[in-house]
């Protein structure tokens, strides 16, 4: 247990001393800011007349300036942005060891490699969950400042049911990117994997099979494809199995990294 605490503390110090923490926070905070911009345009169509194409896009994406539209927009944006932001966090935490040439030193420590990998994943979870919580709270605060028309309690209840689950699924699905960053020994291959999964998520959703592709499931769960799309137990099982597979693959790679090199 003391080895794990030491490894965890070491990973937290790396995060605290980096600019990545603030960059990911800034990038994710743009989600509610974008939602607020759409609501402002929809509430003030005269003001937006000079940029009519922006007003049209806002109406297509958000509908009307009310709480249901605003929260639905935030849900979908958090689901999509979460996959990218949480994935980049994971790639940075694992890939930096190779980019900064500290991987060999880290593996030579008396702390087991399993402990090191698990400590990294705990930091990823804490970091990602904190970002998701901050964006959720900021989004609600901005919504109140926009003075949107009141909505019934079921609207807010739906928001609190959907958003945390979508964020959690997005966090769970980052483990394969940890393996990619480790196997590719850096950032590039894993970042490419993130964007490939996003493309495939869109493609499978268009083909009507998104509920069977892990990285499409969080976005579909937010209702991005409409109310007719139902995410059932099979989809949740797929997310969990994908997460466990990525975790197992990362542990396997780090345990045999010397042999692979």
The pLDDT tens digits for 196-227 are 999 999 899 888 888 999 999 998 888 766 65
Mean pLDDT for the stretch of residues 129-145 = 88
Pick 29 or 223 by higher pLDDT. Answer: 29
Answer whether residue 140 shows pLDDT above 90: no
Q: What's the pLDDT at 47? A: 61
Answer whether residue 99 shows pLDDT above 60: yes
Q: In terms of Cα–Cα distance, which of 28, 224, 29, 12 is closest to 121?
A: 12
First CA to last CA distance, the chain: 29
The percentage of residues in the chain with a pLDDT greater than 70, rounded to a whole number, is: 87
The percentage of residues in the chain with a pLDDT greater than 90, rounded to a whole number, is: 33
Mean pLDDT for the stretch of residues 127-149 = 87
Q: What's the pLDDT at 143? A: 83
Q: What's the pLDDT at 3? A: 81
DSSP-assigned states of every residue in the chain: -HHHHHHHHHHHHHHHTSSHHHHHHHHHHHHHHHHHHHHHHHH-TTTTGGGHHHHHHHHHHH-SSSHHHHHHHHHHHHHHHHHHHHHHHHHHHHHHHHHTT-HHHHHTSSS-HHHHHHHHHHHHHHHHHHHHHHHHHHHHHHHHHTTPPP--HHHHHHHHHHHHHHHHHHHHTTHHHHHHHHHTTSSHHHHHHHHHHHHHHHHHHHTT-GGGSGGGHHHHHTTTT-TT----HHHHHHHHHHHHHHHHHHHHHHHTHHHH-
Mean pLDDT for the stretch of residues 43-69 = 62
Owner of token pair 């797929």: 238
Q: What is the pLDDT of residues 110-126, one digit of tens each?
A: 788 899 999 999 999 99
Answer whether residue 25 shows pLDDT above 80: yes
Q: What's the pLDDT at 243? A: 97
Chain mean pLDDT for the chain: 84
Answer whether residue 185 shows pLDDT above 60: yes
Pick 43 or 184 by higher pLDDT. Answer: 184
Question: Which pLDDT band holds residue 54 (cuts at 50, 70, 90)?
Answer: low
């Amino acid at each position: 247990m003391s080895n794990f605490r030491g490894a965890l503390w070491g990973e937290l110090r790396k995060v605290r001393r980096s600019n990545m923490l603030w960059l990911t926070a800034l990038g994710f905070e743009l989600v509610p800011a974008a939602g607020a911009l759409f609501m402002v345009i929809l509430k003030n169509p005269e003001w937006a007349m000079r940029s009519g194409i922006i007003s049209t896009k806002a109406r297509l994406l958000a509908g009307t300036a009310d709480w249901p539209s605003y929260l639905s927009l935030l849900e979908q944006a958090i689901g999509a942005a979460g996959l990218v932001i949480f994935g980049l966090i994971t790639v940075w935490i694992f890939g930096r060891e190779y980019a900064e040439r500290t991987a060999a030193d880290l593996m030579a420590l008396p702390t087991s490699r399993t402990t090191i990998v698990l400590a990294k994943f705990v930091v990823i979870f804490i970091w990602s969950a904190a970002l998701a919580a901050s964006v959720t709270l900021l989004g609600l605060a901005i919504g109140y400042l926009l003075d949107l028309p009141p909505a019934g309690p079921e609207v807010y209840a739906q928001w609190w049911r959907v958003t945390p689950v979508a964020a959690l699924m997005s966090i769970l699905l980052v483990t394969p990117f940890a393996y990619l960053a480790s196997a590719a020994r850096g950032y590039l291959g894993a970042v490419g994997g993130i964007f490939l999964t996003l493309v495939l998520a869109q493609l499978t959703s268009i083909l009507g099979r998104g509920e069977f592709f892990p990285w499409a499931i969080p976005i579909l769960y937010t209702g991005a494809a409409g109310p007719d799309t139902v995410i059932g137990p099979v989809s949740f099982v797929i997310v969990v199995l994908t997460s466990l597979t990525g975790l197992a693959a990362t542990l396997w790679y780090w345990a045999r990294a010397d042999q692979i090199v």
